């Protein structure tokens, strides 16, 4: 079979490898689609720890082709989505219910072979059933959606809340939709590309802000702004210093700012503790997907989340290294690697 292998930092190739064999507790899954994520680019550049040689790809779904002898709950032919993050279940974090902070966390597509391949091995406990009639491309959105769901849970959005989402990539555009579903009546997306602001309106954003049109904080919280005095919740989904700082200033006194974006290790920002204290701002960080993959799969399965509009391109495994080794094209939201293309 074919697989896109990270051989070492800066060395990413699609080549023939041996088809994997499932262990007793594993499913062998024929991959239908696997999303390219910013993390894959970080892995390629050596900016995120991993263990090459390894097949990348952690946003995958596909059809069960073989099942191990000890597997229960799945049958050959089932469509599944895999939660790539495998917690040990025994460390001090796991036993306290913080599986996303597991000290021995290992991820499919980072530490063990992932979904940019014809086949991927998925441990039974990491697999979640998807409907047989689902669009086979849509299962690949379960993983990013599960991460956004954790952020939305931490934000504690109430019906009627006002929410600002900073950054209109796939994480921001999924978060806009989740904020609406959580009951927010005002959902404002801040992103630089006009095409993404237009897309956000189609996905339920009530307004959008162009950072080039003037100071973002003033455009939102100023006396003549969209929500004078600040919003209940800010979701930072851009992963740049500027937006992390904006998040702490756009939120109203007593409101919550959730940081989902990943800044490079060692990078710092300047925030004012005095301001945070006297406005009692809740500053929360959200890391991956603890116990949210099932809900994400249900939301994708029932069509509650629009994902078709987020698919910019589908590419083959042979074309995939070029996608990961180059920056995203303007306007692009999600590229799917489709082995069967």
**What part of residues 197-226 is at the interface with ligand NAP (CB under 6 A)?**
211
- 271 within 8 A of 251, measured Cβ to Cβ: no
Residue 102 contact, options Zn ion, ligand NAP, none, Cβ 5-8 Å cut-off depending on partner type = Zn ion
CA distance 97 to 102: 9
Residue 86 binding Zn ion, by CB under 5 A: no
> Using CA atoms, how far apart are residues 249 and 189, in angstroms rounded to an integer?
15
CB under 5 to 8 A by kind: which of Zn ion, ligand NAP, none does 283 bind? Answer: none
Site string for ligand NAP, 17-56 (x = CB under 6 A): --------------------xx------------------
d(CA 284, CA 154): 7
Catalytic residue among 39, 175, 186, 206: 39
| φ, ψ for residue 14, nearest 5 deg | -95, 130
Minimum separation from the CB atom of position 103 to Zn ion (A): 5
Question: Phi first, then psi: what are they for 231, rounded to 5°?
Answer: -100, 165
Phi-psi region of 44 (alpha: psi -120 to 50; beta: other; left: phi over 0): alpha
Q: List Cβ neighbours of 142 (8 Å cut-off, separation of 6 or more).
A: 59, 61, 81, 128, 130, 293, 296, 297, 300
- State which of positions 258-287 bind ligand NAP (CB under 6 A): 260-262, 286-287
Looking at 9, 14, 42, 45, which residue is catalytic?
42
The separation between CA 73 and the C-alpha centre of its own chain, rounded to angstroms, equals 26
**Residues in 112-171 that interact with ligand NAP by CB under 6 A:** 144, 147, 166-171
Task: Map tokens 């590309």 to a residue.
Answer: 193
Q: At its nearest, how many Å lie between ligand NAP and the CB of residue 200?
A: 10
Nearer to ligand NAP, 118 or 143 (CB): 143
* Residue with the CB atom nearest Zn ion in the bound state: 102
Let me know if 45 is a catalytic residue: no
Which residues bind to Zn ion, rule: CB under 5 A? Answer: 87-88, 91, 94, 102
Interface ranges with ligand NAP (CB under 6 A):
37-38, 144, 147, 166-172, 190-193, 196, 211, 237-240, 242-243, 260-262, 286-288
């Amino acid at each position: 079979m074919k697989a896109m292998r990270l051989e070492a930092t800066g060395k990413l190739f699609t080549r023939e490898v041996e088809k994997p064999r499932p262990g007793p507790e594993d499913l062998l899954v024929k991959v239908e689609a696997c999303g390219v994520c910013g993390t894959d680019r970080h892995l390629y550049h050596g900016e995120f720890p991993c263990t090459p040689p390894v097949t990348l790809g952690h946003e995958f779904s596909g059809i069960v082709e073989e099942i191990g002898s000890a597997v229960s709950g799945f049958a050959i032919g089932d469509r599944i989505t895999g939660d790539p993050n495998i917690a040990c279940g025994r460390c001090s974090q796991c036993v306290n219910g913080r599986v996303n902070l597991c000290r021995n966390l290992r991820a499919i597509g980072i530490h063990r072979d992932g979904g940019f391949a014809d086949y991927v091995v998925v441990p039974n406990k990491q697999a979640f059933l998807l409907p047989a009639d689902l669009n086979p491309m849509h299962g690949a959105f379960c993983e990013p959606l599960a991460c956004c769901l954790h952020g939305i849970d931490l934000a504690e959005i109430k019906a009627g809340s006002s929410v600002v989402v900073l950054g209109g990539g796939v994480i921001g555009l999924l978060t806009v939709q989740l904020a609406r579903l959580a009951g927010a009546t005002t959902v404002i997306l801040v992103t630089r590309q006009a095409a993404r602001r237009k897309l956000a309106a189609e996905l339920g954003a009530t307004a959008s802000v162009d950072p080039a049109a003037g100071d973002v904080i003033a455009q939102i919280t100023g006396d003549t702004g969209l929500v004078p005095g600040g919003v209940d919740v800010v979701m930072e989904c851009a992963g740049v210093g500027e937006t992390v700082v904006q998040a702490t200033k756009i939120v109203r006194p007593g409101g919550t700012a959730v940081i989902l974006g990943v800044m490079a290790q060692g990078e710092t920002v300047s925030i004012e503790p005095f301001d945070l204290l006297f406005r009692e701002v809740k500053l929360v960080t959200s890391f991956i997907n603890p116990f949210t993959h099932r809900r994400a799969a249900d939301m994708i399965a029932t069509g509650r989340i629009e994902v078709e509009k987020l698919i910019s391109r589908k590419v083959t495994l042979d074309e995939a290294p070029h996608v990961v080794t180059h920056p995203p094209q303007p306007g692009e939201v999600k590229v799917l690697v489709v082995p069967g293309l």
